[in-house]
Structure 1
């Protein structure tokens, strides 16, 4: 349990650094998020795979990828890259990204299916309540009044509209610097 917590803390710190680098350098050259819609007025850069996008993470998934979905069904979406070990599950980065920490991931438990979804860092993903990377801690607490300290300096809150899921949210200097949608069924990769 302690190793998992340490790994998540290290991953969160790495996500913060990677996210800043990605956001600063290549937001327009990123693959489109699943189920994303184009931002008004944006045009894709020459040779880029998609225009800048926004995408919703929650209450039950991210685009066509849903919590509880089997590995077979998640892979059939065509959105996931090569598998990598992740705690007691298997993590799949989104296609176009080689690292699930930098490009978001879908963690799949053989028993519970998809248990953890983190959106790619360079896609301005947000919860249906409007919380995403860069949201203030005050606006996050207003959206989720039951937000409680969890582990590795993270916070956890129930997902409105999905009693079997939680958001894990991390802050740095009073702003969200990482968040994910996790299943409360899985004691290893999703719910800690």
Structure 2
């Protein structure tokens, strides 16, 4: 009986060490926001290619403007907001971080300005007053941060330097 028990434990141990992914199949890790997009949705991608990912849903057609508003299917936004903008000329221009999603440097909704300054020492302030920084690893993009009066991030976006959708 002891030999059979040892063999079962050895096999169980071998199985656990040789296939660690089996223990984590209940929840896939969230993709990071940046440096080139979020998951399969990439900065600069055309509306047609973005739609083909199956990850987005049109929320606000272009109309007379230059950009259409979309939501990430997994993270629908409220009535008067969108999760990303797609420019007619630039493609995916701005992606807003859903709650719980972080940058590769660990910054997300709820992070403090102190944490942001530590993660991004090159932080600057735009003429409009919001903090922004060039995205590490992508010289054509920026992160913009919108903080509450308490200094916690309420909104975070990843955008193309050349985006033509938001101020």
TM surpasses 0.5: yes
Alignment counterpart, residue 46 of structure 2, candidates 70, 73, 90: 70
Structure-2-length-normalised TM-score: 0.73
* Whole-Å separation in 1 of the counterparts to 2:142 and 2:80: 19
Match of 2:58 among 63, 72, 82: 82
Seen in structure 2, the aligned counterparts of structure 1 residues 98 and 118 have a Cα distance that, compared at 3 Å, is: closer
Q: 1:120 Cα deviation (Å)?
A: 2.4
2:79, 2:29 → 1: CA distance? 19
> Is structure 2 residue 115 aligned with structure 1 residue 139?
yes
**Equivalent of residue 181 in structure 1, options 154, 158, 167:** 158
Give the drift of 1:119.
2.7
Deviations 1:99-154 (A, max 9, x none): 4766x512111111110011323xx1001011111111111001111212225542
User: What does 1:9-158 correspond to in 2, within 5 Å?
Assistant: 54-85=30-61, 88-95=66-73, 97=76, 99=78, 105-121=83-99, 124-150=100-126, 152-158=128-134
Question: Aligned residues, how many?
Answer: 141
Distance, in Å, in 2 between the alignment partners of 1:52 and 1:93 is 20
Gapped regions of structure 2 (runs ≥ 5): 1-22
User: Runs of 5+ in structure 1 lacking a partner?
Assistant: 1-39, 44-50
Residues 164/76 of structure 1: CA separation in 2 closer, same or farther (3 Å cut): same
Report deviation, 1:169: 0.6
Contact 2:97 2:108 in 1 (8 A): no
- When the two chains are superposed, the root-mean-square deviation of aligned CA atoms in Å is 2.6
Between the aligned partners of 1:89 and 1:156, the Cα distance in structure 2 is: 22
Rate the CA distance shift 1:88–1:139 in 2: closer, same or farther, 3 A: same
Larger radius of gyration: 2
